């Protein structure tokens, strides 16, 4: 193995760990809006996909979800445990894994071009919303419209802002990460 082959996986592991840690730290700040809080960690979920790609991004979020499921206080409001994953917001958390993979896959496939990064984040966010709303509906037993009113509509503007911020940040940070 060459020195570059050794450094690249190690570097990606460090970045994956860093983004998992930043995601956990960002969960400490949450603003309750009914059953589903407004949190900053969606920003880091988007960044995982854009900066780490499909495989390393999925590994990063898997570590985060594993830590939370084991009870570490890495979910919104410094909570952790399987009860959170099975509760009203668990579907959103579970949706992070396929979302990061999809974001990373689209971003990789289209050579990290800005417009495709935006499309990738829209697709990833749609997956998070879909899985989140399904579980929210099951747990709360509300109608689809009420569930959407509780778990999607109040958050769209925040998620658009986070996506724009993630796209701009990824564009600035990629040259550093990729050593270009």
For residue range 67-96, what is the model confidence (pLDDT) as tens digits?
999 999 999 988 999 999 999 999 999 999
CATH number assigned to the domain comprising residue 170: 1.10.1760.20
Q: What would the pLDDT profile of 13-35 be if each residue is shown by its tens digit?
A: 999 999 999 999 998 888 887 77
Cα dihedral 107→93→64→155 (10° resolution): 70
pLDDT grade, residue 107 (50/70/90)? very high
Q: What distance in Å separates the CA atoms of residue 149 and residue 140, rounded to the nearest whole number?
A: 13
Q: How many domains are there within the chain?
A: 1
User: How many of the other CB atoms lie within 10 Å of CB of 80?
Assistant: 18
Contact 45, 100 (CB under 8 A): yes
Residue 6 has pLDDT above 80, yes or no: no
Q: Residue 22 belongs to what domain range?
A: 3-177
């Amino acid at each position: 193995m060459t020195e570059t082959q050794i450094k690249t996986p190690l570097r990606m592991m460090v970045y994956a760990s860093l983004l998992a840690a930043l995601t956990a730290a960002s969960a400490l700040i949450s603003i309750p809006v009914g059953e589903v809080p407004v949190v900053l960690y969606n920003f880091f979920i988007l960044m995982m996909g854009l900066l780490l790609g499909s495989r390393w991004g999925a590994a990063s979020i898997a570590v985060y979800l594993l830590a939370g499921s084991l009870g570490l206080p890495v979910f919104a409001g410094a909570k952790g445990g399987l009860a959170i994953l099975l509760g009203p917001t668990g579907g959103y958390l579970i949706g992070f894994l396929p979302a990061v993979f999809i974001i990373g896959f689209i971003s990789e496939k289209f050579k990290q071009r800005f417009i495709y990064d935006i499309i990738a984040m829209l697709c990833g966010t749609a997956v998070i919303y879909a899985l989140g709303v399904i579980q929210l509906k099951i747990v709360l037993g509300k109608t689809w419209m009420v569930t959407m009113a509780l778990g999607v509509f109040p958050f769209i503007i925040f998620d658009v802002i986070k996506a724009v911020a993630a796209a701009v940040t990824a564009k600035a940070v990629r040259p550093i990460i990729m050593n270009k």
